[in-house]
Structure 1
């Protein structure tokens, strides 16, 4: 029987990046709390079937994806009354400071830059887990918020 309640729903179109995130969450002994999707469409289909008591604590979205990018997916999630209370984090290999400001102003909790090293990915996964477990505000881990870019 498939588990219904996952703490984090993560959307990443790149199989290698999903594998590395899987490894990081496994190392943190949190993999059973994460469900990964290949596309925004796949996530939206899943959410249509999901009972409200099984909603996640956090959405983690890759920004650069075909069909529906992370920003479009975030907007779609925020427009659904039953989902708008769930925090959204976006991450990408590169986001301009303007794009980050725009995403944050539209209600995205945080924007992160994908690290190139496993240690960077592990640190991002650690922050995501901490946020979900403890409600700790998110920062750092290759974080490239507009405030950091202004420096």
Structure 2
């Protein structure tokens, strides 16, 4: 599985990578401190560069998470069946949760810090396994 981490906070990327490594989550993890850098790579060769999962921070300089998602809209047919996008944010603003629902490419919003339980839940979601502990 190929994963992109897009967060301008190097420490947040490091911690998320550690959780993913602990859970043997992915064979490839690419961390980007700039949404623009990740976007450029993705759009260089659509659909070849599309990862299985993108963890996306919202608050970043230059291109924020919302702008990143807007830039993907013209390519949504390539992403919708092959890539799960999780917004990974420290924001507790309910408006972000509501706004995330407007983006069909977003699987769901996750509040930081990212932990092993969340990683396991995502693995179940993307593999199509039923949740052992339904809410």
Which category describes the TM-score, using the shorter chain as reference length? 0.7 to 0.9
**Map of 2:109 onto structure 1:** 111
Instruction: Tell me, in whole angstroms, the C-alpha distance in 2 between the residues paired with 1:136 and 1:69.
Output: 32
TM (norm. structure 2) is 0.78
Verify: 1:124 aligned to 2:122, yes or no: no
Does the Cα contact within 8 Å between 1:78 and 1:84 map onto a contact in 2?
no
> CA 1:48 to 1:105, structure 2 compared with 1: closer, same or farther past 3 Å?
closer
Give the deviation of 1:18 after TM superposition: 0.9
Residue 112 of structure 1: how far off its partner (Å): 1.2
- RMSD of Structure 2 on Structure 1 (CA): 2.5
Are positions 1:135 and 2:128 aligned together?
A: yes
- Higher mean Cα deviation, 49-58 or 12-21? 49-58
The alignment's TM-score, normalised by the length of structure 1, stands at: 0.71
Cα gap change, 1:51 to 1:72, in 2 (>3 Å):
closer
Which residue is equivalent to 1:91? 88
- Could you tell me how far 1:51 is from its partner in structure 2? 5.3
Note the residue ranges of structure 1 that are not aligned, 5 or more in a row: 1-5, 139-151
Structure 2 unaligned segments of length 5 or more: list them: none
Residues 109 and 20 from structure 1, CA distance in 2 versus in 1: closer, same or farther, beyond 3 angstroms?
same
Identify which of 29, 34, 39 aligns with 1:34: 29
Query: How many positions carry a matched residue from both structures?
Result: 129
Q: Does 1:49 align with 2:47?
A: no
Q: Which has the higher strand share?
A: 2
